[in-house]
Structure 1
Amino acid sequence: MVVPTFELILCIIAAVVLSSFLSRFIPKVSTPLVQIALGVLASQLPFFPDTELDPELFMVLFIAPLLYLEAHEIDKGSLLKSLKLSLSLAVGLAIATMVGVGFTLHAAWPVVPLAAALALGAALGPTDAVAVSSLSHEASLSQRQVGVLKGESLFNDASGIVGFQFAIAAAVTGTFEVGEAIGEVFISFFGGAIVGVVLGLIINWLFETVRSLGWETTTTRVLMELFLPFLLYLGAEAIHVSGILSVVAAGLIIRFDRSGVGPNVARTNIVASSVWSVLSFALNGAVFILLGMLLPDAMEASWNDQQISNLTLLATILIVAAVVVGMRFAWVAAMLRITRHEVTRERRRMTKERWRSAAVMTFGGPKGTITLSLMFTIPYTLADGEWFPMRDELIFIAGGVIVVTLLLANFLLPVVAPKRGTDDSRAITEASIEVLRRTVEELAERVTPDNRRAVMAVIDSYTKRITRLKHRLGAIDPIGFSELQIAALEWEKDYVKGRLAATKAQTGEQSVDRDLEIEACERLLDQIMTSLRHAVTDHDSAHAIWQIKGRMRSLQRRIKILSSRVNNLIRKNTPMLSEHQIYAHMRTVQTAAIDNVIDHLYDEMGKSTYNTEYCSALLLDYRRAEATLKARPNMGATTEMITQIEEIKRESYGIELSVIQDMLEADDITRSQARQLRKNVYVMSVAADSSI
């Protein structure tokens, strides 16, 4: 029998994988919201295991490694430049939110004790680091804004947790010693940071020593890296300082010692980066899936309580959310107003752009899983044995505020900081060059004595593409150029379809030449149609239906070719066509199709449909492809090499797509740029665009 915990883990992983697919089809909705919705849906399914959150286990299992990785990968330069503002938000605003929410909630709903209301305010102080990291995919945030938000999310967890713990202690015992509380906060906050720095320096020395002695292997190195955040958190908590701050400080110090040369070092670095990438995506998704699973149960008790009006609960959520968002906006605006310019050292007036920046950083601070996990630690009883007052209602309010802030971040942030409608041509061309460069590096890692010549030929083609892009940099709009590329594919398709129809219309007995022509045209047409289906990135229903029909026609063509060959084999009507014959004839048809496209491009240069410069550039590409095809001998001895090159080409396109996805997840490119880059890969994947 499968253990329920194991079933739960499998279900959560399945939901995370599903969310990655769904996010591609609903790009306007951020991935965290999709994952929360999946979590809510999963909690209502009868076969989904019940979930109980152990807050301490949640902090060490999820939050510690995520914050550790976030601290390690954050831009240290941007963090230092915005450190004052980040710490102001992480400490000053967290305390102000605690006080503001506490007194407002107690005044609006006196049945809630002041200490309990202050605890809710403290829990609503931390922003969600995971959600913050995904916001720049949905909106156009400056480097400084991203740095401030990420810096705040790294440091405010500790201040929120400490404030929450003291507020709960006051609510449970009924007493609160200000002096003692301040001392404990000081020790927990700075003690955690010091422990993290010291351990980080020791770990750096240890990693360097292990590598210098030759004891390091890929397996042991990756396992040591994965072990670190848990060790740091548990070690700091054991000596009663902030485990969160210890993890963050160590993450900023530890550098994983990615220096060094040689295949072993390169292999270790590649594997470590890949493992952390997969782990962070899985943990990020699991956090929000769990949040969605826990919200219904957390809010159900209060919603079904007949003694409390649901309207009162909803109104309270809106009031608390308004206080949280309003105080954050006022605080950020005040800090922007009093902060001096880096060069002139003068305070600047609040312009329209600076008010917009304040709004961006306001909506860019949603609440999340740490808030809910803190609320679940509220005890059920007080020190005198009485039930903790309004426990379920406080959890309900916290859950509602989390949803409100996430919705504001998802739908209002793109309004105040909209993505550009079209990508800057220079930016996307530079991104294309970076994708090709990384693809070449990956191909170079895969060279073996058997495939060396084929891989070098493919790398040479990538080098030529990089050179052409560098010459084209700043001169050609890649979006307009890709539209012409798609039109050229359409011309190829029309030519091959016409040639295929003419061959099928021939009457008389079947011949080897006729079968060869039909199969070569069918295969080439299938390649072109596949490229066209991927190159066109419309997302309407008509385009989806067109794609489905296209795949069905492709499947029909393949089945028809296969059945025809089997029939000929059984009846022995005509000799079986060899792959060498089909391959050679495909090149003949392809060369003729390229000639047809070249004629079209010459005609278009005299019209106004497409930019003459685009036509000239694409004409050069097709001329190179034509010269390469005509220079290829069609003898069987070279077919094996050509086939190997084609296989490596297909592999290289897969590498390009994975590099684009990695750059998107690392926030190096926008979603729009990623779509454009993917479309370029699909267009290039048609054999006619090859310059090998």
Structure 2
Amino acid sequence: MELFTLILSIMAAVLISSFISRFIPRISTPLVQIVLGAVMALLPIFAPMRLDPELFMVLFIAPLLYHEAHTIDKAELVKSLNLSLSLAIGLAAFTMLMVGVLLHAVWPMYPLAAALALGAALGPTDAVAVSSIGEDADLTKRQRSILAGESLFNDATGVIGFQFAILTAVTGSFSPSNALGSFLASFIGGIAFGAVMGLLTNWTFETARRLGWETMTTRILLELFLPFLIYLVAQNWLHISGVLAVVATGLLVRFDHTGIGPNTSKTNIVSTSVWKVLSFCLNGAVFVILGMLLPAAILTSWGDRKVDNLTLLAMIALVSLTVIVVRFAWVTGVLFFATDPDTGRRVPMDKRRLRSAAVMTFGGPKGTITLSLVLTIPFTLASGGAFPMRNELIFVAAGVIIVTLLLANFGLPLLAPAQERDVERPKVEKSIEVLRRTVQELSSRADDSNRLAVQHVITLYNQRISRLKSQIGQYNPREPQALQLQTLQWERAYIEDELDRIRRKEEQDESDEQAADGAAQKDYQEETGTERAEKYTRDSREQAASLILERIINSLAHLDQGSEFKWRWHIVARRIQGLLRHLVHRLRHMTPKISENEVFLAGRQLQADLNHHVVEQLYAELGKGRFKTEDLLTTIINHQLIESSAEGKTEFGEVSQMSESVEEVKREGYAVELSVVQDMVEAGEISRGQARELRRNVYVMQVDTDSVV
């Protein structure tokens, strides 16, 4: 029950850290989790934390390294593999040597073998810490790839170097040939075994998928089980590097990239979500456990009177400085001899590259692996005596971990201030183009039976386009405003033409009356009733048109504030002209007063005619490039809805019928989207990899639509 309570407390601390980090974004989440772990360790309700290094490696490090290797950018890793291996092997070994020699030289009370063991533990960077570097630091893609590759491969160097240093300290004997042979066997054997397991895993999953045996449950359970199995077999049975075996397997498995279809895509989405939650929990638990271990590691030596506390702090400062300086010198040397991956030429050192070296120096913090190694230092030697300076070694290691994590959190943002990371613009732009063509094709398939459903689906597509445009900063609020302004100008021109037509009709009628002779006067008077009805209807339409024009002019004045005076004067002129014409007309013909209901009905019909005209103008703009397709179609949909309302055609039938029609149009839209993707592939506009990702997104949405149905 105590263990279960501890597990729940650690998960609660991880959950709390995610909320706290939202309020203090300048402090990285791992530091918050370490502090929470330290607070938990100091509370009397929790028993002292004891860490089994072997259990810790298999339970936390193995799945995290597997996931990191599986999701890493393989192309970037291959480009920087030589640099990553240089840091993972050369720098780790050099750090072990320099820390050990310097610590032993300054404080001879540390035996050389024990000091080398500390240097070996401080060699590897923490993969979890590297992947959790705060968002305040803006590292380049290449820098992140080098650091991630280093953290994947350097554990074997540190673990093997630490084991041989401890063996030397305990037994007092050391064989360089045996050490080198064991290192090569563990290193090469771990990679070879992991590669074989990766290829075997791919074959197994592809065969099961081809035979129809794969299900979502079996696929995800096997994927979660895989890193634990590989680590235990490699480490305990074959006695090779389980860490490298897990990393090699994660780099080679590709079972989630081979299948295409709704079921496979749905499984991949669920698998990604499961791993996302699992990796966050494991990441957080690692740092909470680190925080729970630090107080005991520090307080044990702090309260020991055999070594002065100032001396302990000086040791931490010296070792931290040594680790940082050695890393900076090594990285600078690597960059000095490195060649540009694109041109193949060596790039001369300058301030920018020195700054890059400093960024990669601070970007290699130590973490839980370092502490888990030093905690395995035995208490006694082979002779039966106590292991020299054990508590002090643990204290120094804990202090260096804190120093490097603080430098990563606060130093990196100073060297590489965070900038707004732009998502992959070309990929997003291609996605937008696919959606635009899909929307244009859907709009051409609309008819009276499915118009409202098509309008609804097009609105959803336009929302997707807007979200994508906002991701790359392409959304410009002035573009829809420009289209709105143009639409109002079309409306103004149409209503003014209508008013001019009515005025010309009135003038024509008056001219006909004056030209009538005495012989025809009687017949003309017989038609006076019909004439008056027509004039009454015409006056109603004219008054309705004047009201609509006033509304349009007000909208234009609001949008185009620079020409507000022009529009206001236009309104006044139109009003005066209309009042004068109505006054003359009433004096001459004594037309009865027009009722508000007649004006409303006339305005309703005129609004329908106006929207029909504007929709035709909008359709004519499609393909011209003056306005965005999604903006044009959104405006068309709005005007069609107004037109339907004005004509009294807003009813669509039963709600269930509307829902079924929308889902049917959605499926049609997904089919069109897949067809557009295929056309763009054949035209060479997108790569096959981009097409595969776009199709996968469509398949996921198809699954969602089918689940709704």
Q: TM-score, normalised by structure 1?
A: 0.67
The DSSP-based 3-state class of the residue aligned with 1:381 is coil
- Looking at structure 2, the residues matched to 193 and 5 of structure 1 have their Cα atoms a distance apart, in angstroms, of 35
Match of 1:339 in 2: 338
Q: How does 1:623-642 map to 2 (within 5 A)?
A: 627=639, 630=642
Q: Give the aligned residue type for 1:176.
A: F
Q: Give the aligned residue type for 2:289.
A: L
- Gaps in structure 1 of 5+ consecutive residues: 441-451, 486-592, 608-615, 649-692
Match of 2:100 among 99, 102, 124: 102
8 Å CA contact 1:136–1:146 kept in 2: the answer is no
- Deviation string for 1:549-572 (max 9, x for gaps)? xxxxxxxxxxxxxxxxxxxxxxxx
Match of 1:231 in 2: 229
8 Å CA contact 1:97–1:121 kept in 2: the answer is yes
Q: Does 1:219 align with 2:177?
A: no
TM-aligned CA deviation for residue 307 of structure 1:
2.5
8 Å CA contact 2:557–2:563 kept in 1: the answer is no
TM-aligned CA deviation for residue 462 of structure 1:
3.4
TM-aligned CA deviation for residue 594 of structure 1:
13
Q: Does 1:55 align with 2:53?
A: yes
Q: How does 1:455-466 map to 2 (within 5 A)?
A: 459-466=457-464
Q: How does 1:71-90 map to 2 (within 5 A)?
A: 71-90=69-88
- Looking at structure 1, the residues matched to 70 and 400 of structure 2 have their Cα atoms a distance apart, in angstroms, of 30
- Deviation string for 1:536-555 (max 9, x for gaps)? xxxxxxxxxxxxxxxxxxxx
Cα distance change of structure 1 residues 266 and 472 upon mapping to structure 2, 3 Å threshold: closer
Match of 2:299 in 1: 300
- Looking at structure 2, the residues matched to 311 and 206 of structure 1 have their Cα atoms a distance apart, in angstroms, of 59
- Looking at structure 1, the residues matched to 234 and 280 of structure 2 have their Cα atoms a distance apart, in angstroms, of 26
Cα distance change of structure 1 residues 639 and 412 upon mapping to structure 2, 3 Å threshold: farther
The DSSP-based 3-state class of the residue aligned with 1:135 is coil
TM-aligned CA deviation for residue 428 of structure 1:
12
The DSSP-based 3-state class of the residue aligned with 2:257 is coil
Q: How does 1:241-280 map to 2 (within 5 A)?
A: 241-280=240-279
Q: Give the aligned residue type for 1:371.
A: T
TM-aligned CA deviation for residue 641 of structure 1:
7.2
8 Å CA contact 1:454–1:641 kept in 2: the answer is no
Match of 2:573 in 1: none
TM-aligned CA deviation for residue 605 of structure 1:
8.5
Q: How does 1:364-379 map to 2 (within 5 A)?
A: 364-379=363-378
- Deviation string for 1:452-500 (max 9, x for gaps)? 99997654223224556889998x765x859x99xxxxxxxxxxxxxxx
The DSSP-based 3-state class of the residue aligned with 2:132 is helix
- Looking at structure 1, the residues matched to 471 and 43 of structure 2 have their Cα atoms a distance apart, in angstroms, of 53
Cα distance change of structure 1 residues 208 and 620 upon mapping to structure 2, 3 Å threshold: closer
- Looking at structure 2, the residues matched to 117 and 400 of structure 1 have their Cα atoms a distance apart, in angstroms, of 15
The DSSP-based 3-state class of the residue aligned with 2:35 is helix
Match of 1:112 in 2: 110
8 Å CA contact 1:98–1:119 kept in 2: the answer is yes
- Deviation string for 1:30-53 (max 9, x for gaps)? 111111111112222333454211
Percent of aligned pairs sharing the same letter: 54
The DSSP-based 3-state class of the residue aligned with 1:87 is helix
Match of 1:162 in 2: 160
- Looking at structure 1, the residues matched to 433 and 246 of structure 2 have their Cα atoms a distance apart, in angstroms, of 33
Q: Give the aligned residue type for 1:339.
A: A
Match of 1:603 in 2: 561
The DSSP-based 3-state class of the residue aligned with 1:172 is helix
Match of 2:129 in 1: 131
Match of 2:182 in 1: 184
Match of 2:680 in 1: none
Match of 1:206 in 2: 204
- Deviation string for 1:580-609 (max 9, x for gaps)? xxxxxxxxxxxxx999998644438879xx
Match of 1:34 among 32, 41, 50: 32
- Looking at structure 2, the residues matched to 325 and 264 of structure 1 have their Cα atoms a distance apart, in angstroms, of 50
TM-aligned CA deviation for residue 66 of structure 1:
0.4
Match of 1:281 in 2: 280
Cα distance change of structure 1 residues 467 and 435 upon mapping to structure 2, 3 Å threshold: closer
8 Å CA contact 1:601–1:619 kept in 2: the answer is no
TM-aligned CA deviation for residue 99 of structure 1:
0.4
Match of 2:120 in 1: 122
Match of 1:143 in 2: 141
TM-aligned CA deviation for residue 630 of structure 1:
4.1
8 Å CA contact 1:71–1:248 kept in 2: the answer is yes
- Looking at structure 2, the residues matched to 247 and 170 of structure 1 have their Cα atoms a distance apart, in angstroms, of 28
- Looking at structure 2, the residues matched to 48 and 434 of structure 1 have their Cα atoms a distance apart, in angstroms, of 54
TM-aligned CA deviation for residue 139 of structure 1:
1.4
TM-aligned CA deviation for residue 271 of structure 1:
1.5
Q: Give the aligned residue type for 1:39.
A: G
- Looking at structure 2, the residues matched to 67 and 53 of structure 1 have their Cα atoms a distance apart, in angstroms, of 19
TM-aligned CA deviation for residue 261 of structure 1:
3.2
- Looking at structure 2, the residues matched to 226 and 352 of structure 1 have their Cα atoms a distance apart, in angstroms, of 45
Match of 1:195 in 2: 193
Q: How does 1:577-592 map to 2 (within 5 A)?
A: none
Cα distance change of structure 1 residues 426 and 5 upon mapping to structure 2, 3 Å threshold: closer
- Looking at structure 2, the residues matched to 179 and 169 of structure 1 have their Cα atoms a distance apart, in angstroms, of 14
- Looking at structure 2, the residues matched to 39 and 118 of structure 1 have their Cα atoms a distance apart, in angstroms, of 29
Cα distance change of structure 1 residues 46 and 348 upon mapping to structure 2, 3 Å threshold: same
Q: Give the aligned residue type for 1:242.
A: S
- Root-mean-square deviation (Å): 3.8
Match of 1:581 in 2: none
Cα distance change of structure 1 residues 469 and 313 upon mapping to structure 2, 3 Å threshold: closer
Match of 1:92 in 2: 90
The DSSP-based 3-state class of the residue aligned with 1:297 is helix
The DSSP-based 3-state class of the residue aligned with 2:258 is coil
Match of 1:358 in 2: 357
- Deviation string for 1:668-687 (max 9, x for gaps)? xxxxxxxxxxxxxxxxxxxx
- Deviation string for 1:118-171 (max 9, x for gaps)? 000000011111121122733111111111000000000110000000000001
- Looking at structure 2, the residues matched to 464 and 399 of structure 1 have their Cα atoms a distance apart, in angstroms, of 54
- Deviation string for 1:248-293 (max 9, x for gaps)? 1111111124322333222222221111111111111111111111
- Deviation string for 1:423-459 (max 9, x for gaps)? 669959949978998xx9xxxxxxxxxxx99997654
- Deviation string for 1:5-44 (max 9, x for gaps)? 1111111111111111222221111111111111112222
- Deviation string for 1:376-433 (max 9, x for gaps)? 111111111111111111111111101100110111111111123x666995994997
- Looking at structure 2, the residues matched to 28 and 598 of structure 1 have their Cα atoms a distance apart, in angstroms, of 47
Cα distance change of structure 1 residues 223 and 622 upon mapping to structure 2, 3 Å threshold: closer
Larger radius of gyration: 2
- Looking at structure 2, the residues matched to 435 and 409 of structure 1 have their Cα atoms a distance apart, in angstroms, of 40
Q: TM-score, normalised by structure 2?
A: 0.66
8 Å CA contact 1:11–1:48 kept in 2: the answer is no
Q: Does 1:323 align with 2:281?
A: no
Q: Does 1:23 align with 2:17?
A: no
- Deviation string for 1:318-352 (max 9, x for gaps)? 11000001000000000111123446544332111
- Looking at structure 2, the residues matched to 62 and 454 of structure 1 have their Cα atoms a distance apart, in angstroms, of 53
Aligned residue pair count: 515
Cα distance change of structure 1 residues 434 and 245 upon mapping to structure 2, 3 Å threshold: farther
Q: Give the aligned residue type for 1:165.
A: Q
Cα distance change of structure 1 residues 598 and 300 upon mapping to structure 2, 3 Å threshold: farther
